A and B are shown apart, each in its own frame.
Chain A
Amino acid sequence: MSRLNKFILPLGGFALLAVLLAVGLKQAPEKGIIKSPLVGKLAPAYSLPDLMQPGAVVASDDLKGKWHVVNVWGSWCFACRDEHPMLLAIQQEGVVPIVGIDWNDEEAAGREWLAKLGNPYARVAVDREGRTAIHYGVTAAPESFLINPQGVIVKKVTGVITPKIWRDEMLPLIRGVAGGGQ
């Protein structure tokens, strides 16, 4: 009997492996997308130059007490172009203000981009050296952070905010409805 058990082991081991691979397959579309450890934590503070009003400062304190979205973008970023209409739509809805952070960009190029495509942001900050972005664990653009009135990041969107993500994952959180996690 013990002899038989020994030879069944490889098959049993492989069955486990197959299950693991199947689970891995299901999770595959999200490989490479880092799950942010900042979700559920206080959003890092920042105080950055204002892109649209030279000399002014955009600080994280400015929007404390209100739901808002922090959106990291750049004029060099192709996907941000895809996302832009959605951001304008969110601005139209008027539910939450969006703070833009122009990341690793030339200020002139950033302003030109907004002039050409429209400005969906309540405030736009410039992060030329990428320090704030790193504090937020940004890996690429566009990335967005949904922050609640207490200043806690409740959701991070890696990549473009699609209508589906906005409707099904972000709005419910803002409205206090159950559902819509990360």
Chain B
Amino acid sequence: MSRGVVFAATLSLFLAGVAWAVDTTPPIPDPALQERYVTLTHELRCVQCQNEAIADSPVEIAAQLRREVRESLIAGQSDDEIRETMVSRYSEFILFKPRWSAKTALLWLAPALMLLVGAFIALRVVGRRRQLLETDDSVVDEDGDG
């Protein structure tokens, strides 16, 4: 019940309609860092309004998380270190981009694997149908285009 209340409370807070886009901090002077900041803040999920990135979420905790990212970047941490710190506190749920691991390998490789399987199926089907052409004397009705 309590979990439901919190969830409902934060959900209704969001669903009731909130503004987006409130990064009031000036860009990081170093353009390379600024670019990493933009990328990272779009990769991290707002833990309260859970369907936005912290780059887009107007709630205070999103601004505070952006601040964390900014300070970590200026302190010289790598992107992976920043992600790891966030995950250590909020679990993998906070990352929109699943990190490559044994757990996610299948997820990332799936599209390519499916393409391979698809290509194999295509070749087999086309191969069989080409053979059948020899015994197929059906006439195609050219009305319209098909």
Instruction: Determine if B103 is an interface residue (Cβ-Cβ < 8 Å).
Output: no
- A104-143 CB mask vs B (1 if < 8 Å, else 0) is 1000000000000000000000000111011111111010
Q: In the complex the two chains form, is B10's CB within 8 Å of A157's CB?
A: no
**B131 proximity list for chain A (CB < 8 A):** none
Instruction: Determine if A101 is an interface residue (Cβ-Cβ < 8 Å).
Output: no
Instruction: Determine if B89 is an interface residue (Cβ-Cβ < 8 Å).
Output: yes
Main secondary structure of the interface of B (DSSP, over half): helix
Q: Give A150 to B47 CA distance when docked, in angstroms.
A: 29
**Smallest distance from the beta carbon of A34 to chain B beta carbons, Å?**
5
Q: Which chain A residue shows the least CB distance to B71?
A: A131
Q: Give A80 to B135 CA distance when docked, in angstroms.
A: 78
Q: Which chain A residue shows the least CB distance to B65?
A: A134
Task: Name the one of B1, B48, B91 contacting A37, with C-beta atoms under 8 angstroms.
Answer: B91
Q: Which chain B residue shows the least CB distance to A33?
A: B3
Instruction: Determine if B9 is an interface residue (Cβ-Cβ < 8 Å).
Output: yes
Q: Which size bracket describes the interface of A in this complex? A: 20 to 34
Q: Give A138 to B11 CA distance when docked, in angstroms.
A: 16
Q: In the complex the two chains form, is A34's CB within 8 Å of B93's CB?
A: yes
Total interface residues in chain B, CB < 8 Å: 25
Q: In the complex the two chains form, is A79's CB within 8 Å of B9's CB?
A: yes
Q: Which chain A residue shows the least CB distance to B6?
A: A159
Q: Give A161 to B2 CA distance when docked, in angstroms.
A: 7
Q: In the complex the two chains form, is B1's CB within 8 Å of A162's CB?
A: yes
Q: In the complex the two chains form, is A160's CB within 8 Å of B2's CB?
A: yes
Instruction: Determine if B25 is an interface residue (Cβ-Cβ < 8 Å).
Output: no
**Smallest distance from the beta carbon of A69 to chain B beta carbons, Å?**
15
Instruction: Determine if A168 is an interface residue (Cβ-Cβ < 8 Å).
Output: no
8 A Cβ contacts from B111-133 to A: none
Q: In the complex the two chains form, is A34's CB within 8 Å of B9's CB?
A: no
Q: In the complex the two chains form, is A34's CB within 8 Å of B91's CB?
A: yes
- B89-116 CB mask vs A (1 if < 8 Å, else 0) is 1110110000000000000000000000
Instruction: Determine if A158 is an interface residue (Cβ-Cβ < 8 Å).
Output: yes
**A142 proximity list for chain B (CB < 8 A):** 6
**Smallest distance from the beta carbon of A87 to chain B beta carbons, Å?**
13
Q: Give A101 to B68 CA distance when docked, in angstroms.
A: 19
Q: Give A32 to B7 CA distance when docked, in angstroms.
A: 7
Task: Name the one of B7, B61, B93 contacting A130, with C-beta atoms under 8 angstroms.
Answer: B61
Q: Give A78 to B89 CA distance when docked, in angstroms.
A: 25
8 A Cβ contacts from B58-81 to A: 60-61, 64-65, 68
Given A32-B50, A134-B65, A140-B10: A37 and B90 within 8 A (CB)? yes
Taking Cβ atoms with an 8 Å cutoff, the residues of A that contact B are 29-30, 32-38, 78-79, 82-83, 104, 129-131, 133-140, 142, 157-162, 165
